Amino acid sequence: MYKILIRPIFFLFDPEKIHHFTFSLVKVLSKIPLISLLFRGIYMVKDKRLERKLFGLTFQNPVGLAAGFDKNAVLYNELADFGFGFVEIGTVTPVGQEGNPKKRLFRLKDDRGIINRMGFNNEGLKAAVEQLKKNKGKVIIGGNIGKNTSTKPENYTEDYLACFKGLHPYVDYFVLNVSCPNVSSHAKLEDVGYLKELISEVKVLNEKETVQKPILLKIAPDLNNGQLDEIIELISETKIDGVIASNTSMNRDGLKESEDSLKAIGNGGLSGQPIKDRSTKVIQYLSDNSKKSFPIIGVGGIHSAEDALAKIDAGADLVQIYTGFIYEGPSLVKKINKAILSRN
């Protein structure tokens, strides 16, 4: 139904406008009595064998919604009804910001991909906290945090710390997003020396809390083996809880989209099918070269159950989807969970 009826209509419109329209639609639909139950009945796969215990949390199933979809934590209660085992909100920055000028989100239909340069458009920490106070406790919530675009490099850490402190009572795990290709001064966030400092400071803050929350690092799919070795060392030294691999890619190789069209689109991070193998390779490398010493959340180009199983086979403990959710619809979550079960 989604691919035959809903997607062709949605794809006639501007991607960002349709994103907001869908949010409003799901919100309205969810107010109808029993709709939540109906969605859960259709999409939820309940089975103890899908449960995953990782960094002290019990995930009802290993399929999550990746960051960037529910940036302001306004729809996670409703999105949980589509069968996700976890929903990652954000990226949240301390202060609300508009992001990059529109148009900044583009579909690459023939490639089943997306290019975006949203630039951390979000309503800021305070707004996210207000929304998270409405948590109905249906699903595990990840808090993906970043820095404001206008923040000076010497103050990056303060931004992460402010978001960490503010969201701490409301989320189950944290993600330090250091790999968004659409924010300025990206170079500093690629510097392992700085990352070590950032992680240490966030960990110090975590230790001061009565309950400690797991902290993960989200990395780019474009890192070379040397950089991945550095990440493995960083995880081992800082004892951070895990890695999310991966964010969107800057690499445009092998796309069906014409050169002219790509030129017209301009800068941005690529997601969806074109980055599938790149992110799987990163997962495989991290897993093999660390002797699987830390949990990995695999994300990037999962559009089918087979794609998700490939990530798991490469070493992912959990998976997340974003672009596949747009192209394949909510039934993708169920398909992945069913495929995982059929392997048991």
Ligand X SMILES: Cc1cc2nc3c(=O)[nH]c(=O)nc-3n(C[C@H](O)[C@H](O)[C@H](O)COP(=O)(O)O)c2cc1C
Give the binding site for ligand X (CB under 6 A).
66-68, 71, 90-91, 105, 114, 116, 118, 120, 144, 177, 180, 218, 247-248, 271-272, 275, 299-302, 321-324
Distance in Å, CB of 90 to ligand X, minimum: 6
Distance in Å, CB of 21 to ligand X, minimum: 15
Beta carbon nearer to ligand X, 50 or 114: 114
Distance in Å, CB of 267 to ligand X, minimum: 14
Beta carbon nearer to ligand X, 71 or 335: 71
Distance in Å, CB of 122 to ligand X, minimum: 7
Beta carbon nearer to ligand X, 80 or 269: 269
Beta carbon nearer to ligand X, 114 or 162: 114
Going from the C-alpha of 19 to that of each of 10, 22, 118, 225, the distances in angstroms are: 9, 5, 13, 36
Beta carbon nearer to ligand X, 50 or 65: 65
Distance in Å, CB of 189 to ligand X, minimum: 12
Distance in Å, CB of 234 to ligand X, minimum: 18
Beta carbon nearer to ligand X, 16 or 130: 16
Residue nearest to ligand X (CB): 68
